[in-house]
Structure 1
Amino acid sequence: MNPLEYKNFYDKVGRLNGWDFSQLKVVSEGKQWDFYNEVTQRCKKSDLLLDIGTGGGERLLSISDSALLLVGIDNSNGMVQTAAANLHKSNKSNVRFLQMDAANLEFPSSFFNMVTCQHSHFCSEEVAKVLVQESWFLTQQVSNNDKYNIKQAFGRGQQFGADEGILKDKYLSELARAGFTEIQFYEYDATEYYESYEDLVFLLKYTPIIPDFGACDDDFNILQKFIADNQTAQGIRTNSNRFMIIARK
């Protein structure tokens, strides 16, 4: 998908679901960290935290007790609408959600004590601009080989066919040029087992793993064959390939 198609996709998904996948019945083996646990381990109660690409704000709201003020931004109007609705239901008083482009962070320089970004684009120079000195930036991203057997079955998919490590190398070099130090890189490739056909349909409908999933009837035939080929006693097998970068300004 091109940038406009991505934006339209996330606006639609944002209004319908936000970024909430808590209903999925899936078991992971080999997952080495939980991103927002890593965030809270480094966060102080007095910190101001910025979350880039916050989606429906589900995870940011779940860690609201970890900082003084938490600001979630997303470039998708649909996502921000859902985040605002989730905030209203939560009754949290120290969380704000704004629609904003990660390439143009409209905050004062050296404003935040921590910046986070999960599964979304970011601009290293903009992150460095809004962070105070001696502060942390954490990001988790989807690696090229995530859900690889699903993409193989469909013959298309997010980052399918891209050079391995190209996104990792891009972000590592950009962070170094922006003045970040103590840059740490971690990666895991966990096995996932989805319980049912319905779980996989939900996953593919509300993520860009397979662009335009369901647009043609053959997609569901391919999915049925994929399930038959990858059904195990534990569930329908695929993988979750993630990398995390932790950097200090």
Structure 2
Amino acid sequence: MNELDYEKFYDKVGKTNGWDFSQMKCKTEEETWDFYQDVTKELKKSDVLLDIGTGGGESLLEIASSAMMLIGIDLSHSMVDTAQKNVLNSPYENAAFFQMNADNIQFPNQFFNVISCRHSPFSTSEVARVLKENGTFFTQQVSEHDKYNLMEKFGRGTIHKKDGELKNRYLNELKEIGFSEVKAYEYNVAEYYETEDDLIFLLTHTPIIPNFGKDKEDFKLLKQFIEENQTKKGIVTNSKRFKIVARK
């Protein structure tokens, strides 16, 4: 998905649900991590945090009490509009949201103590530029073989990409640009969707299966997928993520 496609897709999502997946019933029974709670462990009350690809800002607002100031940026106008409405309806006055390209972060050099980026593209050079010395960068990304059985059924998505390619690219870029300590973590766990509607919600609000629903054949394939992957716990697929923690 190129930058223009990304903006169009997430503008559409922002107008319909603001990236709020709280209504979707999905669970895992294996150990994972809580990305933003991991970020808070690094934060001090005096810190300024940047969140790249902040979406509707819901996750950032949940940790607003952990820092002096939190700034969220997103490429999508609709997402930022949603985030700005969410902050007005929250009890916090220390969070602000801006429409901004992660390849051109419009803040001064060494402005942020901590930078987070969850499921969004980022520029390694821009992260290094705006992060203070001794600052920490956290990112969590979706691995290429996330939702592997779904992509296998539909024959499209990132199934044809080498798993681990994105992780290795980011690791190499962060090391080459001068981060002193770079560590990677990953998990691959079973994920269960309670109903067909929950799975449809996922597929129509994420680019896992590109252009899902535009062809009537997609719903025939989805029905087959559900029949093949229905369990007592729900409709099973996999959730595969990697996390990188880099200290400058």
TM (norm. structure 2) is 0.98
Residue 22 of structure 1 and its aligned partner are, at CA, apart by 1.3
* Aligned CA distance change for structure 1 residues 17 and 120 (closer, same or farther; 3 Å): same
Is 1:113 aligned to residue 113 of structure 2? Answer: yes
Q: Distance in 1 between matches of 2:41 and 2:247?
A: 15
SS at match of 1:212: coil
Q: Distance in 1 between matches of 2:85 and 2:207?
A: 23
Q: Distance in 2 between matches of 1:97 and 1:15?
A: 17
* Contact 1:146 1:239 (C-alpha < 8 Å) held by counterparts: yes
Please list the CA deviations of residues 7-55 of structure 1 after superposition, one character each: whole Å capped at 9, or x if unmatched: 2101111121122111111111224211001101111111000000001
The equivalent residue for 2:135 is 135
* Contact 1:30 1:188 (C-alpha < 8 Å) held by counterparts: no
SS at match of 1:55: coil
Residue 6 of structure 1 and its aligned partner are, at CA, apart by 2.0
Instruction: Count matched residues.
Output: 248
The equivalent residue for 2:217 is 218
* Contact 1:31 1:189 (C-alpha < 8 Å) held by counterparts: no
- Give runs of aligned pairs for residues 62-73 of structure 1, distance below 5 A: 62-73=62-73
Residue 3 of structure 1 and its aligned partner are, at CA, apart by 2.9
Q: Distance in 1 between matches of 2:180 and 2:162?
A: 26
Q: Distance in 2 between matches of 1:75 and 1:136?
A: 22
Q: Distance in 1 between matches of 2:3 and 2:64?
A: 31
Residue 244 of structure 1 and its aligned partner are, at CA, apart by 0.1
The equivalent residue for 1:4 is 4
Please list the CA deviations of residues 191-242 of structure 1 after superposition, one character each: whole Å capped at 9, or x if unmatched: 1011000000100110111111111111111111100000001110001000
SS at match of 1:214: coil
* Contact 1:30 1:189 (C-alpha < 8 Å) held by counterparts: no
The equivalent residue for 2:228 is 229
Please list the CA deviations of residues 136-192 of structure 1 after superposition, one character each: whole Å capped at 9, or x if unmatched: 1000000011000011111111x2201121101110011112211210100000110
SS at match of 2:41: helix
Residue 87 of structure 1 and its aligned partner are, at CA, apart by 1.2
SS at match of 2:192: strand
Residue 124 of structure 1 and its aligned partner are, at CA, apart by 1.0
Name structure 2 gaps, 5 residues minimum: none
SS at match of 1:29: coil
TM (norm. structure 1) is 0.97
The equivalent residue for 1:168 is 167
Name structure 1 gaps, 5 residues minimum: none
Identity among equivalent positions (%) equals 55
SS at match of 1:184: strand
Q: Distance in 1 between matches of 2:47 and 2:167?
A: 28
